[in-house]
Structure 1
């Protein structure tokens, strides 16, 4: 059948109309388009883009501004960066989420500069407290005090000044590292650890820890590593209301610092329940990657049986790893060393968890689908753990194909063990800010040779093929990622010393430092396919900064502020209207 010209024209018009309507119907419009600034993607195929379009909680476009216009609809919100800088949402690679919140509720001593100042802070708290009420806090660090405390025993202050101003209130203050505690007389009376005979002294010290005592055998108030439990077990448990407040404060603090995801290093049953309840209510505004605490063996056995919980829907709460605390910290001389401490001859630190349990855990974790994340700061702890991991990998070769086991901190390594991380596929989760805070006094603990050959050796690990996960170990350090980024690329204290940085050959490049807070941190949680870079299909998590941290002069980096935080396409924090 032949169509005349008029019929053909009508037919073609109808086809075009139908096609046009179909195209209009299928056109995807964005909920939000972000443009007008410098956008770093961490995507090797296009490291920078001009605009990003988001639909619901996913990125639907990242590229040229002109191309982003097609995603703009009547209801699309446009965020103009006004020249500011956007990165993928920053990931805290090792911290203690509830510790962050509790630090706001209890005495925060992280900025205390002397023993006398600590005493004054406690005195103020005592004045507000009821008689008999426990006073707790965290953050003191004797090696950072000026002047050094006098008298001192084994490098630590004694309790006498503290006890004098708090006769009716038990006081227990955790070291900044969390690996030592400082108690007054009242707390020690309650715990039953005062003035004991030699035999009872031996009975009261615990494996993996130490009660620091004076020359007469009396406790000085310092309880190192596992000995802290002697006091801590008497502190009244927290309340559900206080837990809820701490959770809210932790979420708020993360948002204000541009943190969109958080690797929570050691969580018990109660806090897991708290996180789940918050997720159900829609108030868990930070994506949590949870490590089960290795202190609770019954908890681990329970999870080995049921397996990991991987949140593939909301990507808010995943539980698939185990945290083991295997030694202490350098600050408290608890890190487990191959050679004695330079400033405490004959002392090698503490093995706070039997290495047989590390091996046993690695075996069970591989068989049940869990990752193992072991705390190790000293070179001996790192070596011993790598040995146990390697044995478990060889004996479970199929399950170990993509294990992504981690060592948390990996702060001081023997030179022979540095290449073993990449060779075994073990991820070093390191906190650059620890170098900035600790390096001025860490040389006293280890001596110059060990510092230069194996302490905070980021670049050496990276060159050997390792991926480094960065973070702050909050509340050991403030959660500020800018300070940690600065430490990563400068290797200086936050005051800007020394000129050129400590062991400058170990500095990260700015790209490496940003990767350690984004894509490599995501890799450390098996999440690089859904976060860590700005790519189509990934979660719409972004951090917006006041200036370009990839190009501003080093001396200006610490002036950078977080201007906005976006989680799943929702603006959860904004310093100013953009």
Structure 2
């Protein structure tokens, strides 16, 4: 790998040269030399941004689907789909396949989603709508019949919903791969250098196939999650977290594509009212009034121990306060560390357990602003412990920021903005006591790095202005539109703006 000199980079207010060699930062100073030079002309050099939780194939596909995220009711969602089909000149809906929409959030709807609503607006059309939180699938009658969905309402949740997504929303691998590379390039243009991909399926095989599509593979580092149904096959193949994906022969791609963690679900989501909580959901009775416990404690501990013994990292999906407690109990019982994904509601007594157990809180700040109204309704009286980012940080927990794309946009600046100011509109910030300071948010979005140091991996992002300057002048809205001039992964440029020259 050739040496690259980043000339006139602004580091902490000082303009210096930065030399990259062998994929690392090897020198910082003045009057450095190299054959290849990229003049930053005083632009700001920061550690590369890392999205700790994405569903990359779903995000890539969502960019192609009908957007129903603005729907305030089931009828409006159906009307949005019908209007999109007319605009696309597809009066019969989906020749040869399903019509797929993305992003509905029904937690505040006046009436429930149902097949009948879709049938009335789109008679005879096989429609599948995917919820914004990826935990619910809503099918028309024709789609339900084709997919074997027996629920009369056409609405299924959790694992069954994910199976519906996989069957109805899939495209040919070559098409999906093109979408994924386009989405990865868009992420690189926002400064993303690495992601953990929690897409449901055989990610090892999928990403090994994609490695051959372009020199060096994707413009990002990708860690591929392993779901429970593939745990034993992964162990039998001898794969450990951090290993290059088997069959990848391109050296750069092999460096970028690595086996990631085991993913285990403890509960569902707030939007689907399946997050496992101490308080029952308003108006619900019976065994699911408190949400769903998807993995019992003893089985969780067994899975975590099994993964650790095989050299696999551990990530546990837990959103409700009871689910987070179960997840932490599971780590303690197994005697291993790992990550809690989401941690959207945490009891005060559980906050210090993250640091004590060495468990990372992998959180998605945009969810706090997207779900504030749903939380006020369905977690009434318990929102003081909802999305408790400042409390986790103050308790010593290591924070990792992500998007959960397509639940939120794959744009770390959006997540950083939501972390430092919890509002998207003219309303006051929601529970501002849980704001993170900018330095903490940036570090949590940068793999824990707080600056560019000699010896660091050369995963870097160049921005036009210091983020603190942008925040002070333009507020959180300004952070969302941060101008990214260049992105580098392992010292190789994955994005370069024309504005850089």
Q: TM-score range by the shorter chain?
A: 0.7 to 0.9
User: What displacement does 1:230 show?
Assistant: 7.2
Say whether the 8 Å CA contact 2:365–2:401 is kept in structure 1. yes
Q: Does residue 187 in structure 1 map to residue 143 in structure 2? A: yes
Equivalent residue in structure 2 for 1:103, among 28, 37, 62: 62
**Equivalences for residues 246-265 of structure 1 within 5 A:** 246-265=179-198
Say whether the 8 Å CA contact 1:259–1:565 is kept in structure 2. yes
1-side partners of 2:14 and 2:75: how far apart?
A: 51
Q: Does residue 443 in structure 1 map to residue 409 in structure 2? A: no
2-side partners of 1:331 and 1:247: how far apart?
A: 26
Residue in structure 2 matched with residue 85 of structure 1 by the alignment: 44
Instruction: Identify if the C-alpha distance between structure 1 residues 130 and 265 changes in structure 2 by more than 3 Å, giving closer, same or farther.
Output: closer
Q: Does residue 573 in structure 1 map to residue 495 in structure 2? A: yes
**Equivalences for residues 268-307 of structure 1 within 5 A:** 268-269=201-202, 271-280=203-212, 281-303=215-237, 305-307=238-240
Q: Does residue 371 in structure 1 map to residue 321 in structure 2? A: no
Say whether the 8 Å CA contact 1:159–1:182 is kept in structure 2. yes
Say whether the 8 Å CA contact 2:135–2:162 is kept in structure 1. no
Report Cα offsets for 1:72-96 as digits up to 9, x if no partner.
24x33132245x4331110001111
Instruction: Identify if the C-alpha distance between structure 1 residues 445 and 220 changes in structure 2 by more than 3 Å, giving closer, same or farther.
Output: same
2-side partners of 1:95 and 1:233: how far apart?
A: 16
Residue in structure 2 matched with residue 470 of structure 1 by the alignment: 401
Instruction: Identify if the C-alpha distance between structure 1 residues 306 and 77 changes in structure 2 by more than 3 Å, giving closer, same or farther.
Output: closer
| Structure having the higher Rg | 1
More deviation, 86-95/280-289:
280-289
Residue in structure 2 matched with residue 135 of structure 1 by the alignment: 99
User: What displacement does 1:164 show?
Assistant: 2.4
Say whether the 8 Å CA contact 1:90–1:260 is kept in structure 2. yes
User: What displacement does 1:477 show?
Assistant: 0.6
**Equivalences for residues 29-44 of structure 1 within 5 A:** 30-36=3-9, 38-40=10-12
Say whether the 8 Å CA contact 1:376–1:409 is kept in structure 2. yes
**Equivalences for residues 125-524 of structure 1 within 5 A:** 125=85, 127-128=89-90, 129-131=93-95, 133-143=97-107, 148-149=109-110, 152=111, 156-193=112-149, 219-228=152-161, 231-232=164-165, 235=168, 238-269=171-202, 271-280=203-212, 281-303=215-237, 305-311=238-244, 314=252, 315-342=255-282, 344-346=284-286, 347-393=289-335, 400=336, 403=337, 405-448=338-381, 450-452=382-384, 454-492=385-423, 494-498=424-428, 501-520=429-448
Instruction: Identify if the C-alpha distance between structure 1 residues 534 and 279 changes in structure 2 by more than 3 Å, giving closer, same or farther.
Output: farther
User: What displacement does 1:263 show?
Assistant: 1.1
1-side partners of 2:199 and 2:165: how far apart?
A: 17
Instruction: Identify if the C-alpha distance between structure 1 residues 343 and 487 changes in structure 2 by more than 3 Å, giving closer, same or farther.
Output: farther
TM-score relative to the length of structure 1: 0.76
Q: Which runs of 5+ in 1 are unaligned?
A: 1-28, 41-46, 194-203, 205-210, 212-218, 394-399, 521-527
Say whether the 8 Å CA contact 2:225–2:263 is kept in structure 1. yes
SS at structure 2 position matched to 1:324? strand
Report Cα offsets for 1:19-66 as digits up to 9, x if no partner.
xxxxxxxxxx95222425x435xxxxxx9663322235321223xxxx
SS at structure 1 position matched to 2:469? coil
Say whether the 8 Å CA contact 1:39–1:51 is kept in structure 2. no
Residue in structure 1 matched with residue 26 of structure 2 by the alignment: 60
SS at structure 1 position matched to 2:308? helix
Say whether the 8 Å CA contact 2:177–2:210 is kept in structure 1. no
Report Cα offsets for 1:413-462 as digits up to 9, x if no partner.
122211111111111101111111111321111113x111x211111111
Report Cα offsets for 1:357-385 as digits up to 9, x if no partner.
31111111221111110100011111112
TM-score relative to the length of structure 2: 0.87
User: What displacement does 1:293 show?
Assistant: 1.6
Instruction: Identify if the C-alpha distance between structure 1 residues 88 and 183 changes in structure 2 by more than 3 Å, giving closer, same or farther.
Output: same
User: What displacement does 1:117 show?
Assistant: 4.5
2-side partners of 1:272 and 1:330: how far apart?
A: 30
2-side partners of 1:233 and 1:562: how far apart?
A: 34
SS at structure 2 position matched to 1:157? coil
SS at structure 2 position matched to 1:519? coil
Report Cα offsets for 1:150-202 as digits up to 9, x if no partner.
xx1xxx33333321233333111110100111111111233455xxxxxxxxx
User: What displacement does 1:473 show?
Assistant: 0.4
Q: How many residues align?
A: 480
Say whether the 8 Å CA contact 1:470–1:517 is kept in structure 2. yes
Residue in structure 2 matched with residue 560 of structure 1 by the alignment: 482
SS at structure 1 position matched to 2:294? coil
Q: Which runs of 5+ in 2 are unaligned?
A: 246-250
Please give the root-mean-square deviation of Cα atoms over the aligned residues, in Å.
Answer: 2.7
Say whether the 8 Å CA contact 1:190–1:234 is kept in structure 2. no
User: What displacement does 1:463 show?
Assistant: 1.5
User: What displacement does 1:564 show?
Assistant: 2.2
Residue in structure 1 matched with residue 248 of structure 2 by the alignment: none
1-side partners of 2:427 and 2:230: how far apart?
A: 42
Say whether the 8 Å CA contact 1:275–1:284 is kept in structure 2. no
Say whether the 8 Å CA contact 2:355–2:396 is kept in structure 1. yes
2-side partners of 1:489 and 1:237: how far apart?
A: 36
